[in-house]
Amino acid sequence: MRKIQTQADWIARAQQVLPAGGFGNFDPGIIIRNGQGSRVWDEDGREYVDYLIGSGPMLLGHGHPEVLDAVFEQIPQGMSFFANNTKGIELAEEICSAVPCAEQVRFVTSGGEADMYAIRLARAFTGRNKIIKFEGGYHGMSAEAQMSLAPNRRVNFPQAIPDSAGIPDTVAEQVLIAPFNDLAAVASLLSEQVDVAAIIVEPLQRIIPALPGYLAGLRALCDQHNVLLIFDEIVTGFRLAYGGAQELYGVTPDICTLGKIIGGGFPLAALAGRREIMQHFDKSLVGADKWLMQLGTLSGNPVAAAAGLKTMQVLRRDGAYDTLRATGRTLWDMQHKALTAAGIDHQMLGDATLFDILFTDAKVVDYRGAQTADARLGTLYNDALRQAGIFKSPGKLYASLAINADDLALTQAAVETAVDALCNAVLQQ
pTM: 0.96
Q: Is the pLDDT of residue 1 over 60?
A: no
Burial grade of 297 (CB within 10 A; 0-12, 13-18, 19 or more): exposed
Question: Annotated catalytic residue: which of 138, 249, 321, 367?
Answer: 138
How does residue 5 score in pLDDT terms, banded at 50, 70 and 90? confident
Among 407, 382, 403, 393, smallest CA distance to 355 is for 393
pLDDT tens digits, 48-69? 999 999 999 999 999 999 999 9
pLDDT in tens, 314-330: 999 999 999 999 999 99
Q: 10 Å Cβ neighbour count for 192?
A: 10
- Please give the pLDDT value at position 426: 79
* Whether 117 is catalytic: no
| Rounded distance between C-alpha atoms, residue 419 and residue 328, angstroms | 19
260 is catalytic: yes
Residue 83 has a pLDDT of 96
Give residue-wise pLDDT tens across range 68-108: 999 999 999 999 999 999 999 999 999 999 999 999 999 99
Whether 232 is a known active-site residue: answer yes
Q: Which CATH architecture has domain 65-315?
A: 3-Layer(aba) Sandwich (3.40)
SS3 content of the chain, % helix, strand, coil (to 5): 40, 15, 40
How many CA atoms lie less than 13 Å away from 216 in the CB half-sphere?
Answer: 7
- Spot the catalytic one: 50, 182, 232, 351: 232
Where are the CATH 3.90.1150.10 domain residues in the chain?
31-63+320-427
* pLDDT the model gives residue 383: 97
Find the farthest-apart pair of alpha carbons in the chain and give their distance in angstroms, rounded: 69
pLDDT of residue 232: 98
Instruction: Answer whether residue 3 shows pLDDT above 80.
Output: no
Phi, psi of 94 (to 5 degrees): -70, -40
Q: List b or e across 200-238, with b for residues whose CB sees 16 or more CB atoms inside 10 angstroms.
A: bbbbbbbbbbbeeebbebbbebbeebebbbbbbbbbbbb
CATH 3.40.640.10 intervals, the chain: 65-315
Torsional sign, CA 291, 297, 299, 302: positive
Given the residues 260, 310, 381, 392, the one annotated as active site: 260
pLDDT digits (tens, 9 = 90+) for 255-268: 999 999 999 999 99
| Beta strand pairing call for 347-351 and 354-358 | antiparallel
For residue 153, the model assigns a pLDDT of 87
CA distance 255 to 261: 18
| Per-residue confidence (pLDDT) for residue 2, from 0 to 100 | 59
Q: What fold, for 31-63+320-427?
A: Aspartate Aminotransferase, domain 1 (3.90.1150)
pLDDT digits (tens, 9 = 90+) for 345-354: 999 999 999 9
Q: Which residue, 20, 12, 19, 30, is CA-closest to 392? A: 30
Q: For strand 47-50 and strand 39-42, is the pairing parallel, antiparallel, or unpaired?
A: antiparallel
Q: Per residue in 377-393, pLDDT tens?
A: 999 999 999 999 999 99
